[in-house]
Structure 1
């Protein structure tokens, strides 16, 4: 029961995941029947996954030709270290993604099956308790946000490609091969971020549909009210378990995703400092695309953190919405009993997102994440401020 605009965006992101072999198996999407079913795992897709994962992991070797090290980063130890670090972290991010797919393939496929069964049963609740116009407005809003995120990710990719091409000092077969490998890695990174963003959007969609169903109960008073509330409570529990399982299965790959986002943002901002003090030669186009890269990179990071916060808070906000029933007349003892059970469940089950089970990532942590980026950038800038002084003294 998805709006066609939201369905089209999901198909685009699903295609990215299939191309880079980020799925446990393929799905069969039939628009005219508005249904999704799981295809039988074929040897063709397994062979394709093996080829893609091997290719993506092996081409990291071609990303560090000597011409890159002898170019604009030759006399800057920070740029040399950051370049090596980015290559190493990129390899680690791909290894964690494909390691998750290969080591947990059966678990992921079973997760797909459970999710499809969950969507089938949840569709009945949406048809009976959710206002169609409100559901349409919600899905259109989510589709708009997903299109905006795709635009931001590809905008950052285009600006990054142009800037990196301008930084290539020597054009030969090895540098072109390395440049192509880096573009492939960036596209893989874009696909991974799209997948994580989509999971968060779908979770937010489910929890907000539960909010709409509770709003329906508030307005509609009937004898079967307690049965509807019991169904909503059970679906909330299933959605919460689904979210926790997603976070657990993709824990390591999501952790490397955030580490790469952190280091790439610092690297981009430090390059901007080098552009500003003329340590890296550039023209007007280089400055234009460099500023665009900074804007799209920070924009995309903030959007992802905001989406994560909204997905988690939409789950935990259900308890606040349930308080509105305290001001309503209780129609039956059954309804009061189900209301108490639902409230107890919400108090004892709050959704949190922790990176590798240690660091909880919420709004304050997101602000600390951004602040630490600028703190590390300021520390790196001290080397650039001291270098001209030492040269003048000499």
Structure 2
């Protein structure tokens, strides 16, 4: 005999079903470990005698499989049970991180090994990410989407902030190998949690092949002007933001501020902005979801502007806080728009096209950051990044669909989420 869900007053979040709670908990666990892994990997490269360029090679080795395999991951996640895809991807990431940790702890890690294992981790992420986004979108009813996605991003951002702080401290205290081992363990725990997710609605029909699935996903993506316009916007935005965060910010901090400590403080302010605004978005549910979300995007260029103006540290910290707030405002409203407008059986494929487009120019931004600083000067390059962020945010508002897309309580075109019969 099936048990009945507890009355709403007995649950803190009565709208959060079993799948939502399990997926959020697993995301926190894997986020805690994974946020510290890039720090540990960079120090592992340097500990083995690697140069700054080799740190970049290892970072690129992780990114390339993500770009190449995202579309396949999205198609599989719409064809197979999403929680199965996530479990396998988490297990693959756990194995790659465990092998990497063992090599680093043994003092035998070579550059090709670090690159190969980083690539394996990137491949795992390419299959995990579309399945994860599809699962979280389908696990909550449309009328509660804004609140649910705010809580999810709040948990994710808090885990990443804590993971970065913990990863940095542990790397300094016990070495990068142990941090990578902790990351492997977190992936194992996350895989175990996701094993207990309930199967969602029936996936895409098995006939027709992968190419048909990808073509259908592209048609769904390309048919919505608001969707591809914003993804094009973010392709350039992410190139600028990556250049500022990874190259220009640390250089300015070293030349004009107090070095790595001050830059770390600025990054912490960005993280606090993410979390604080997440609390706000739990209650704030604007009607014009993309219009309000894009007002958050206007804040993305503030760090580049503060750095270009040689602003003092308090001003830079405030700019980073506001940019973090903007990320959350956009991110929550963007997830609401996708959940509301995209059919459930297409969630993961459309998410893969979204992520692929948004990330496509990020490596280019990092690669061109140095030449741009030489050609324009560091200040000129920062002004260019700030101007592009502001200009693109304004241009997107010329698209009527971006300005007019409104929140609906229960869209008829989107499949209702599957809720399990028992709550445990």
Higher relative contact order (CA 8 A, sep 6+): 2
Q: Same fold (TM over 0.5)?
A: no
- TM-score normalised by L of structure 1: 0.29
